[in-house]
Structure 1
């Protein structure tokens, strides 16, 4: 008897033309480390009296379809998640490498269909109307570099055969922590121990009355870009900025020796005044939980640039 194993699981993704309707083809095989994407439908226990001490049968509640996907920070696959979070990029270049420029502030975002496959059961779950609610990752000295995409879906359809067909594979080119760099106002920011970045679309689920219990959609509201920087306390630059209430530009970048790169820029970052503690004889560190806002000159909060061999997304 075959048993489900995560090692055999697969994921395929395609963007939808119509929200909630999986496309006929055009799926791409996506690399992922883990996923909690799924649909659940809780039960409401009966509140009725007069039928003895044993309760009556429960009633089904509305369907909720959402979850996380942990994905590698990859030079090609990352573009799909950036498109889901920011909308279509502006792509330049007549031949490889191509430059894909994403910007925050789009009023509408694309929806996706994502199929997770367990071939040995077989179980193929197609999630339609999937939208990206949040994308976050961390920078540090070592370890595997991954990002977490928090998703909201309209619903789930389970079949015994794949609807995605044979998805097109990608060439895996992962960024590593040692490929990363942090700059402030164009100059390298020294003494950075770790950093975290979190971009949120803050999706508003449209929970209308439907016979299938699904949502009608998910609208992006006011976006948020937050994070933290842990630094070895070596000078007063960041503390002075925080005290003065000034903004700076922070850039988080990765570059591979083969030429692929990813650059994420928060154009107007504000820092809180931190507590500087002396906890022992070791080096003193300071943590800044920063927030980004719209830059008055550029008219946007952040930009992301991905350079790779993909012609389009």
Structure 2
């Protein structure tokens, strides 16, 4: 008997025309490192009395379908997750390379279907009505560069054959931490040890009464772009900004030697006043837990620009 192995698992994604209805075609094979995406349905313990000490049969509760997908930040496939998180991009370029600009604040976020496959069992799980609740990644000096997409789905359907057909393959071109840079108001920030950023749609699940126990949808509420920057304390620039309550523009970017690039620009970032601790003889570090807000000039909170050879998303 074949046993399930993560090394043989596959994932395919396609955007939906109708929420909760997987498309018949158009799936793309997605690279991923791990996933907790799944559906669960807890049991409600019987509260009835008069039947002795042994309880009566439990009752099924509502279905919850959600989880995280850890994906590589690459030059092409990552654009699908950006579209799911921010909405459809504005694409420019008459020929390759193309520039895809994703903007925060869209009320119309696309839903998509994801199929996770374990062919050796066989088990093919289709998650329909998926939407990205948040997208998070860290910047560091070394290691593998990945992002975590937190997903809210409507439900799960299990089958013994794939409903995704033959998904389109993507040529993988990964960004690495070595390709990263951080700037403040257009100038490089020195002494940065690490950085963390999270874009959240703060989805509001529409939990109506249904015979199948699924949700009716998920509406985006007030978005948030937050994170932190850990720096070796060398000057007062960031502390002064925090004390004065001023905003700055932070830009987190990656560029490959072949020309592909990814840039997230937070247009109006506010810094809290940090505690500066001297914990020993080593270098002194300061952590700034920043928050972004809508910039009155640009008219939005952030812009993500992806440059690659893909014509559209």
Q: Given the two structures, how large is their TM-score scaled by the length of structure 2? A: 1.00
CA distance in 1: counterparts of 2:141 and 2:161, whole angstroms: 43
Alignment of 1:81-230 (within 5 A): 81-230=81-230
CA distance in 2: counterparts of 1:137 and 1:158, whole angstroms: 30
Kindly provide the CA deviation profile for residues 210-229 of structure 1, in whole angstroms up to 9, marking residues without a partner as x.
Answer: 00000000000000100000
In the TM superposition, what is the alpha-carbon distance from 1:58 to its structure 2 partner?
0.1
> Which position in structure 1 is the counterpart of 2:29?
29
Kindly provide the CA deviation profile for residues 235-276 of structure 1, in whole angstroms up to 9, marking residues without a partner as x.
Answer: 000000000000000000000001000000000000000000
SS in 2 for 1:128: strand
> Which position in structure 2 is the counterpart of 1:271?
271
CA distance in 1: counterparts of 2:20 and 2:310, whole angstroms: 26
> Which position in structure 2 is the counterpart of 1:74?
74
Kindly provide the CA deviation profile for residues 110-155 of structure 1, in whole angstroms up to 9, marking residues without a partner as x.
Answer: 0000000000000000000000000000000000000000000000
SS in 2 for 1:239: helix
Alignment of 1:241-280 (within 5 A): 241-280=241-280
Equivalent pairs counted in the alignment come to 313
CA distance in 2: counterparts of 1:109 and 1:122, whole angstroms: 32
Q: Given the two structures, how large is their TM-score scaled by the length of structure 1? A: 1.00
CA distance in 2: counterparts of 1:128 and 1:96, whole angstroms: 33
Q: What is the RMSD of the two structures over their aligned residues, measured on CA atoms?
A: 0.4
CA distance in 2: counterparts of 1:256 and 1:112, whole angstroms: 29
> Which position in structure 1 is the counterpart of 2:232?
232
In the TM superposition, what is the alpha-carbon distance from 1:94 to its structure 2 partner?
1.4
CA distance in 2: counterparts of 1:105 and 1:74, whole angstroms: 24
CA distance in 1: counterparts of 2:297 and 2:38, whole angstroms: 41
CA distance in 2: counterparts of 1:246 and 1:94, whole angstroms: 39
CA distance in 2: counterparts of 1:51 and 1:282, whole angstroms: 68
CA distance in 1: counterparts of 2:113 and 2:278, whole angstroms: 51
> Which position in structure 2 is the counterpart of 1:312?
312
SS in 2 for 1:243: helix
CA distance in 1: counterparts of 2:10 and 2:232, whole angstroms: 41
SS in 1 for 2:210: coil
> Which position in structure 1 is the counterpart of 2:301?
301
CA distance in 2: counterparts of 1:42 and 1:129, whole angstroms: 21
SS in 2 for 1:133: strand
CA distance in 2: counterparts of 1:243 and 1:50, whole angstroms: 66
Structure 2's unaligned 5+ residue stretches are: none
In the TM superposition, what is the alpha-carbon distance from 1:208 to its structure 2 partner?
0.2
Kindly provide the CA deviation profile for residues 23-54 of structure 1, in whole angstroms up to 9, marking residues without a partner as x.
Answer: 01000000000000000000000000000000
Runs (4 or more) in structure 1 with deviation over 6 Å come to: none
Pair 1:39-2:39 in alignment: yes
In the TM superposition, what is the alpha-carbon distance from 1:233 to its structure 2 partner?
0.4
CA distance in 1: counterparts of 2:200 and 2:218, whole angstroms: 13
In the TM superposition, what is the alpha-carbon distance from 1:95 to its structure 2 partner?
1.2
In the TM superposition, what is the alpha-carbon distance from 1:108 to its structure 2 partner?
1.2
